[in-house]
Amino acid sequence: MFGAKNQVNTDPKAVEEVLNRGVVEAIDRENLRKELLSGKRLRVKLGIDPTSPHIHLGRSVPLLKLRDFQKLGHLPVVIIGNFTGLVGDTSDKDSERPMLEEKTIAKNQKTYLDQIGRVIDLKNAEVRYNADWLGDLTYREIGEQADQFSLSDFISRDNIKRRLDAGSRVSLREVLYPLMQGYDSIAVDADIELGSTDQRFNLLAGRRLQERFGKKPQNIVMTPLILGTDGRKMSSSWGNTIILDDSADEMFGKVMRLEDSVIADYLIVCTRLPLKEVEEIKKTLAADGNPKDAKMRLAREIVAMYHGKEAAEKSENQFTEVFSKGGLPENIVTINVSDGISVADQVVAIKIVESKSEWRRLQEAGAITDAESGEVFKGGKPEREIVLKIGKRRFVRIVPH
């Protein structure tokens, strides 16, 4: 599955696919191509901050690109940001990100290696924790790093400029994050750093600091952001995620909730279906093909990556049975509702519905029904055990007591 240790594949076609599949921008592309063709084993860095307990498909995009490099024989260097996660990256945020407590970061990162290990081969990778070096820096050292950047460099970034123009607070702490991510590249001797497009400033900071400290500047490979189940950018804070820890059935169902417009992009960046097959699917969709068929293929590919082919086939069969033939899923989540606790609160608490506002919207649209009778559920504590159908694809069993 992965490239043999210390054996680098320099086949030009394989190199070009890694350089192009799902890559929005590469810096410096020509230099990177030359290094990939040289046969030298490169150190490929990817940092992940444990600001949430779960890794979602949006984060899997650069992880899959890391796997691509690993399959060529290069060394993945995974940095768990147990220090940068405390400070918080503002790159993709329209408001100030709060500082997290150490115990929150420690709790969140417990399952990270298990999740990351579903994508890359951790036995042939280097895993580092950036508190090991960032926590020991002195004010003088931080000052030397900060001297490489101007305040205008930072405030000219789109999201920071929008916040300043709107009169929103931008903390000095946020200015430090690019320095920390950049210093990570020095600490691990990165030849290449991967990241999504919103990380551009931070990635370039690594190049600038490496040059300042007399090291060769890293090459950069940027991957796209993807949309979540509600059509907005996939984000843990918005709850519109498909997470690697989802069950096979949950994962399949969430993929089927995606907008049709994202099918091709997901096939390219969230799967490793051969690009020839992706092009055929795109041609079929462009010729008014049924997007449901393409989305079923997408769901099957994604579930198979994280749960295996057998689980993917089972989830597809169940989805077809439930949503095409009007049946019910085999394993419906059951919640017990007593007096004083609303069904809505319970359903939101276990994330079947993302928020109370979504519950209200669905209820107002008559989209929450008794799965057996088809009657619209108006709320309150039911008198008997019922299965609620929420929207088109979600079910929950309510047991009053």
- Pair (79, 171) in one structural domain: yes
Q: How far apart are CA 58 and CA 61, in angstroms?
A: 6
The answer to whether residue 3 sits within a structural domain is no
From residue 245, how far is each of 115, 117, 182, 298, 305 by CA, in Å? Answer: 7, 12, 30, 18, 12
- Pair (178, 297) in one structural domain: no
The answer to whether residue 4 sits within a structural domain is no
The answer to whether residue 177 sits within a structural domain is yes
**DSSP for residue 233:** B
- Pair (294, 216) in one structural domain: no
Q: State phi, psi for 85 to the nearest 5 degrees.
A: -65, -30
**pTM of this prediction?**
0.81
The answer to whether residue 155 sits within a structural domain is yes
Q: What is the extent of the structural domain holding 184?
A: 12-225
The answer to whether residue 234 sits within a structural domain is no
Q: How far apart are CA 211 and CA 206, in angstroms?
A: 9
In the prediction, which pLDDT does 127 show? 97
Instruction: Please give the structure tokens belonging to residue 7.
Output: 């054996």
Q: State phi, psi for 76 to the nearest 5 degrees.
A: -70, 130
Give me the helices (H) in 72-167, please: 84-87, 102-108, 112-116, 131-134, 139-146, 151-155, 158-165
pLDDT band for position 288 (50/70/90)? confident
Q: How far apart are CA 95 and CA 172, in angstroms?
A: 13
- 354: domain CATH number is 3.10.290.10
| Span of 48-52, 187-191, 318-322, 338-342 with lowest mean pLDDT | 338-342
Pick the last residue of a domain from 324, 356, 385.
324
CB atoms near residue 194 (< 10 Å): 26
pLDDT at position 120 over 80: yes
- Burial zone of 317 (CB within 10 Å; 0-12 exposed, 13-18 middle, 19+ buried): exposed
The answer to whether residue 283 sits within a structural domain is yes
- 134: domain CATH number is 3.40.50.620
- Pair (81, 160) in one structural domain: yes
Residue of 96, 112, 15, 52 whose CA lies nearest to 235: 52
Pick the last residue of a domain from 280, 303, 324.
324
Residue of 198, 283, 187 whose CA lies nearest to 233: 198
Tens-place pLDDT, residues 188-228: 999 999 999 999 999 999 999 999 999 999 999 999 999 99
- Pair (168, 214) in one structural domain: yes
Domains identified in the chain, total number: 3
The answer to whether residue 357 sits within a structural domain is yes
From residue 213, how far is each of 27, 155, 207, 221, 389 by CA, in Å? Answer: 19, 25, 10, 22, 60
In the prediction, which pLDDT does 1 show? 47
- Pair (125, 211) in one structural domain: yes
- Pair (112, 190) in one structural domain: yes
- Say if residues 80 and 112 touch (Cβ distance below 8 Å): yes
Pick the last residue of a domain from 292, 324, 356.
324
- Pair (51, 118) in one structural domain: yes
Q: How far apart are CA 254 and CA 228, in angstroms?
A: 9
Q: How far apart are CA 58 and CA 73, in angstroms?
A: 24
- Pair (92, 220) in one structural domain: yes
- Say if residues 39 and 8 touch (Cβ distance below 8 Å): yes
- Which has the higher per-residue pLDDT, 90 or 189? 189
- Pair (100, 193) in one structural domain: yes
In the prediction, which pLDDT does 325 show? 63
pLDDT at position 229 over 90: no
